[in-house]
């Protein structure tokens, strides 16, 4: 059974993956060993594929380091739910096909609670109780579903347009 | 497009012009990118995405690309040395002429020094502080590796046109107070996501130096901003020629306007571990420091080194305090040698490092240990940012840093 990991406000990229644990400094093969290595040292060894992160405001603020969301994808995080995301993190996660949902749940769900998420429908089930998360725009979901922005570009021969002109 | 409608912010004008449509805040556009900046920390991922995921035979246009080795420079380990060798090979294979190796300086400083960004352009960088290019009226913004790979492969990317916060600067700064104090004050006022997804425009200070504009634009990143912009006007930017379609429009729509009275602004300090924990420097006089670091893309420019030297001239750093000075670029280092600034700093007890990012990102050249306290002129004080997670980082101006180095405690220049 997957579980929920609850974090607070303003979790910056130095907490998600400190600069000195970047693949540039260590090795690509070890990327999954380091998420939250100092902020929450048990995370990397206890996290299981399908687990969900629920956080406060401004998750992922700070650096443009794409290896921060990439490390979370590497350990199998199914989705991140926050009232707001820092802009570069949001776009990096989208580009990597890591689903983000905008909702304020950190006071409603317990750290360690059993939970599952259906990333297509946005239905989060916690302790048998299901709730619908606000769905992201269709074109964003399409980027996740196709595995990220590069896969999208290769599939369609163009950038994800959304309502772009 | 040549004829832009009235009532657009600087960001709306630049993105509309590039995309060839009149775009307002909130809309999505696809636009060509004039310049792609990538540094040693993220370029390995960019190369991986370009070659192994996108299967791009070559980059779209090597002339639009600039590559830097500044984040770990010189290499601090065998792993980083090997990664940098791969980067150099890739640069040669792609024919990228704008390549700046170890010691040339921090990417953002050199981009502006070398004239690689210009008014009205769009520049993206694999670094969150790419907002700095707004100092010359360029729409500069930070992206991750895959957005960079797409732009390098196609020459374009998609952008959400940001809403804009307008900052009106009134009056003039007092003695010992500088651009960083304005930035920290704004961080305290607006918060770490006060400008998330938005742009920030600065008005009312055509007297301001280019160095100060770079500090202000660069620090808009700490408000969460997508871009920070000055319209290029005033003596400091007389060498720049803004395109005729770019102009501050009195009818532009802003989501918020903030007025700052510079005359009344005292020196500011951000306490760990967040940039918006801002206090007047004078209130922190009981905080002892181990290391004072003057440098980075935020505050390692000639003006910053001179300001520190003016305070340190003829005096010595307090016993037990280490003063580390890292000029933001080789040109700055050379100018500081020639005008005597460096001699003054050395005579006061400073240690000087290779131009580049230094210990700002906690990777080399002066990282801190558990319980150590650093006073830094950089931009972030997150837990573990500069080394051990139990180390503490206070942020402030070069003036406050120099005064702090003299006394060993956080010191407002005004109290010296």
Percentage, residues of chain B above pLDDT 70: 100
Inspect the interface and report whether the beta carbons of A65 and B29 lie closer than 8 Å.
Answer: no
Three-state SS for B202? Answer: strand
Domains and CATH numbers, chain A: 4-134 (3.20.19.10)
Instruction: Give the model confidence (pLDDT) of B297-321 as tens digits.
Output: 999 999 999 999 999 999 999 999 9
Identical topology for domains B9-265 and B269-415: yes
Task: Work out whether strand B350-352 and strand B35-39 pair parallel, antiparallel, or are unpaired.
Answer: unpaired
Look at residue B124 in the predicted model and tell me its pLDDT.
98
Confidence check: pLDDT of B188 > 80: yes
Confidence check: pLDDT of B228 > 90: yes
Instruction: Give the model confidence (pLDDT) of B248-283 as tens digits.
Output: 999 999 999 999 999 999 999 999 999 999 999 999
- Is the complex ipTM higher than 0.85? yes
Look at residue B1 in the predicted model and tell me its pLDDT.
64
Confidence bin at A162 (pLDDT 50/70/90)? low
Q: Which residues pair with B256 in a beta bridge?
A: B165
- The reply to whether A97 touches chain B by the CB within 8 Å rule is no
Confidence check: pLDDT of B239 > 70: yes
Closest Cα to residue A124, out of A89, A66, A69, A82?
Answer: A82
Give the residue from A14, A15, A140, A158 with the most B CB atoms within 10 Å of its CB, the best one to mutate. Answer: A14
Q: Which residue of B has its CA nearest to A22?
A: B41
Task: Measure Cα distances from B380 to A15, B36, B37, B223, B271 in Å.
Answer: 13, 24, 21, 11, 10
Average pLDDT over residues B390-408: 98
Look at residue B2 in the predicted model and tell me its pLDDT.
62
Residue A3 φ/ψ, nearest 5 degrees: -130, 170
Instruction: Give the model confidence (pLDDT) of B350-369 as tens digits.
Output: 999 999 999 999 999 999 99
Look at residue A161 in the predicted model and tell me its pLDDT.
74
Instruction: Give the model confidence (pLDDT) of A101-120 as tens digits.
Output: 999 999 999 999 999 999 98
CA B127/CA B229 separation, integer angstroms = 17
* CATH class of the region B269-415: alpha beta
Give the residue from B144, B228, B357 with the most A CB atoms within 10 Å of its CB, the best one to mutate. Answer: B144
Which homologous superfamily does the CATH classification assign to the domain defined by B9-265?
Answer: Aconitase, domain 3 (3.30.499.10)
Closest Cα to residue A144, out of A103, A92, A83, A108?
Answer: A92
Does the pTM of the predicted model rise above 0.80? yes
Instruction: Give the model confidence (pLDDT) of B111-160 as tens digits.
Output: 999 999 999 999 999 999 999 999 999 999 999 999 999 999 999 999 99
**B258 min Cα distance to partner chain A (Å):** 22
């Amino acid at each position: 059974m997957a579980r929920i990991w609850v974090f607070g406000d303003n979790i910056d990229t130095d907490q998600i993956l400190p600069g000195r644990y970047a693949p540039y400094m260590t090795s690509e093969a070890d990327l999954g060993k380091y998420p939250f290595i100092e902020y929450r040292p048990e995370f990397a060894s206890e996290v299981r594929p399908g687990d969900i992160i629920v956080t406060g405001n401004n998750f992922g603020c700070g650096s443009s380091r794409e290896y921060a969301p990439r490390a979370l994808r590497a350990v199998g995080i199914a989705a991140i739910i926050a009232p707001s995301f820092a802009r570069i993190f949001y776009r990096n996660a989208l580009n990597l096909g890591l689903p983000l949902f905008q909702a304020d749940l950190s006071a409603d769900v317990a750290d360690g609670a059993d939970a599952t998420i259906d990333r297509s429908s946005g239905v989060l089930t916690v302790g048998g109780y299901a709730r619908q998360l606000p769905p992201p725009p269709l074109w964003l979901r399409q980027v996740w579903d196709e595995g990220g922005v590069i896969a999208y570009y290769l599939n369609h021969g163009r950038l994800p347009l959304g309502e772009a002109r | 497009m040549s004829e832009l409608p009235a009532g657009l912010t600087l960001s709306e004008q630049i993105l509309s012009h590039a995309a060839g449509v009149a775009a307002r805040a909130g809309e999505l556009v696809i636009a060509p990118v004039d310049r792609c900046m990538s540094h040693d920390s993220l370029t390995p991922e960019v190369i991986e995405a370009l070659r192994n995921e996108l299967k791009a035979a070559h980059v779209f246009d090597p002339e639009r690309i600039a590559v830097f080795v500044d984040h770990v420079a010189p290499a601090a380990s065998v792993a980083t040395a090997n990664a940098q060798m791969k980067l150099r090979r890739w640069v040669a294979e792609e024919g990228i002429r704008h390549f700046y190796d170890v010691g040339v300086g921090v990417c953002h400083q050199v981009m502006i020094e070398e004239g690689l960004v210009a008014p009205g352009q769009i520049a993206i960088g694999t670094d969150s502080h790419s907002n700095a290019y707004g100092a010359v009226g360029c729409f500069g913004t930070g992206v991750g590796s895959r957005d960079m790979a797409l732009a390098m492969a196609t020459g374009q990317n998609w952008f959400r046109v940001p809403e804009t916060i307008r900052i009106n600067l009134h009056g003039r700064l007092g003695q010992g107070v500088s651009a960083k104090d304005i930035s920290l004050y704004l961080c305290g006022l607006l918060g770490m996501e006060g400008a998330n997804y938005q742009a920030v425009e600065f008005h009312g200070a055509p007297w301001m130096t280019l160095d100060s504009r770079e500090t202000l634009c660069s620090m808009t990143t700490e408000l969460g901003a997508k871009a920070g912009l000055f319209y290029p006007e005033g003596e400091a930017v007389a060498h720049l020629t803004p395109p005729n379609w770019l102009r501050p429009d009195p009818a532009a729509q802003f989501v918020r306007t903030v007025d700052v009275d510079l005359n009344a602004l005292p020196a500011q300090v951000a306490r760990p571990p967040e940039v918006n924990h801002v206090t007047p420097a004078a209130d922190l006089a009981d905080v002892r420091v181990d290391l004072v670091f003057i440098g980075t893309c935020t505050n390692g420019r000639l003006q910053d080194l001179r300001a520190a030297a003016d305070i340190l001239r003829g005096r010595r750093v307090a016993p037990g305090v280490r003063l580390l000075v890292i000029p933001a670029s080789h040109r700055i280092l050379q100018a500081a040698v020639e005008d005597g600034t460096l001699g003054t700093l050395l005579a006061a007890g400073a240690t000087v490092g290779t131009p580049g990012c230094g210990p700002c990102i906690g990777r080399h050249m002066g990282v801190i240990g558990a319980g150590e306290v650093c006073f830094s002129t950089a931009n972030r004080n997150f837990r573990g940012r500069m080394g051990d997670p139990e180390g503490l980082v206070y942020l402030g101006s070069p003036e406050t840093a120099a005064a702090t180095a003299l006394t060993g405690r956080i010191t407002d220049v005004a109290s010296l």
